[in-house]
Amino acid sequence: MTIPLAWRNITHNKMRAATSLTAVCVTIILIFMQLGFYDACIHSSVMVSDQLDFDLALVSTNYMALKISGTIPRPRLQQARAASGVAWVAPLYLAQGSWRNPDTKVPREILVLGVDPRKPTFRIHPLNDKVAKLRRLDTAVTDTVVKGDYGSLMPGTTTEVENQRIEVVDSYAHGCGFTSNAEIIVSDLTFARIFEGFPRENVSIGLVKLEPGQDIENVVRALESRLPPDVQVWTRSRLEAQSIFYVMQIKPLGIMFRSGVALALVVGAVIVYQLLATEIMRHLKQYATLRAIGYDNAYIIRVILTEAILFAVCGFVPAALLSWGLYALTRTQTKVPMAMTFGRLFQVLILAVVMCSLAGLLASRKARRANPADLFGSC
């Protein structure tokens, strides 16, 4: 019953409807983009750990992020291996090093991951085969997704990492997100040769893979009781949560994007409120008339709310299409990983409807206060 009236209200003036809808549409696009950047930020912070195959991680008590991991004594790995339910344990070494661009000779920072080439450390199976080649000393597998100019990363390239001669034997494409601008994988022995100052008897993180069907909580408790307190036993999700916390709460970029989302929502609400308020002001006489002939406030609120939701839905559809295109554009123009998912579409639709409904409820106060006698008196 309210929809035809609400619909008529909006479409009565085609021009005004078009511009109002465009304003709502662009506002929703802003929300899409801010959410996209925010999510890309979160996704970027776990890109390095995403590559690794593990169920539990042994981390130092100083662990803050992958680059600031602290170290744990190497014997902890063997001690963990002996616990029941553990399939295998693998070491992970992490450090930032200097990669000399083989073409320009300009040094650049690079994240170096040191692994045992005999273990299947990575989730991406072809990568484990490539990593097996690292048994030869002073070799590396490069990640070709880099930010900035690192020169040739192709197999066959030789260059220096921290003054240690390195030969690239294979490459893959993944990206390391916010952790660094570029990354390479080397064997644990090569890692020790590159970073001579790295404490020899320590590893950065211990990766633990469980037998299938294990109760994770039980194994965590078993490991915690077995291992000394200089090591923390974390689940995969705990490690990811920490990475996300570090980027989103400590690092300024995360804070900027979170406030960006908040700003988009607040501004969106204000703009929709302004649109609806103007709409209502236009039809004030009609609302007064409706009240005069007996329609109650509840009806009027329903009409306005319907208008608001119609705004939301009609503005959402073109906004979603355009944002899909903008996400794709962002992916190609920058390395920011922005992907449109059904989850995102649903999330923004709900946000748009809630935002417009709240604005509508607030704006409806004007209509409810419309006194029929006043209006016709000033005619």
Partner 1 sequence: MLIMRKISCTRLAWRNLTHRKARLVASVTGVTFAVVIMFVELGYLNGVYDSQTQVLKVMNADLIMINKQKEALAPKMPFAKKRLVQAMAQPGVQAVYPLYMEEHRALWKNSRDGREYPILVFGFEPHDPVFLIPEVSPIAVRLKEPDTALIDSKSKDLYGVREPGTTGELARRTLRIVGVFPLGPDFRSDGNLFLSDRTFFNCFPPVQGQGTDSARVEFGLIKVATGYEIGAVRDSLQQALPDDVRILTRQELVNQIKNYWRHAQPVGYVFGMGMLIGFLIGVIICYQILYSGIMDRWPQYATLKAIGYSNGFLIAVVLQEALYLAVMSFLPGLLCSLGLYALLEGISGIVMRLTPDRAALLFSFTVLMCTLSGLIAVRKLMRSDPAEVF
Residues lying near partner 1 in the complex (CB under 8 A) are found at: 15-16, 19-20, 22-23, 26-27, 29-30, 33-34, 37, 61-62, 64, 68, 70, 95-96, 98, 106-107, 109, 147-148, 163, 181, 196-197, 250-253, 255-256, 259-260, 263-264, 267, 270-271, 274-275, 277-278, 281, 326, 330, 333-336
**Least distance (Å) between residue 34 CB and partner 1:** 7
CB nearer to partner 1: pick between 83 and 322: 322
Alpha carbon distance 337, 342 (integer Å): 16
Alpha carbon distance 348, 365 (integer Å): 26
**Least distance (Å) between residue 123 CB and partner 1:** 27
CB nearer to partner 1: pick between 78 and 334: 334
Looking from the CA of 358 toward its CB, the CA atoms found within 13 Å total 12
**Least distance (Å) between residue 248 CB and partner 1:** 11
Which contiguous run of DSSP H or E holds residue 126? Answer: helix 125-132
CB nearer to partner 1: pick between 218 and 278: 278
**Least distance (Å) between residue 20 CB and partner 1:** 7
CB nearer to partner 1: pick between 185 and 269: 269
Dump the DSSP string for 236-287. HHHHHHHHHHIIIIISHHHHHHHHHHHHHHHHHHHHHHHHHHHHHHHTHHHH
Q: Taking a C-beta distance cutoff of 8 angstroms, is the pair 142, 153 a contact?
A: yes
**Least distance (Å) between residue 190 CB and partner 1:** 16
**Least distance (Å) between residue 293 CB and partner 1:** 25
Grouping H, G, I as helix, E, B as strand and the rest as coil, residue 187 is strand
CB nearer to partner 1: pick between 85 and 337: 337
Q: How many CB atoms lie within 10 A of CB 322?
A: 15
CB nearer to partner 1: pick between 227 and 277: 277
Residue 191: name the closest of 182, 178, 200 by CA. 200
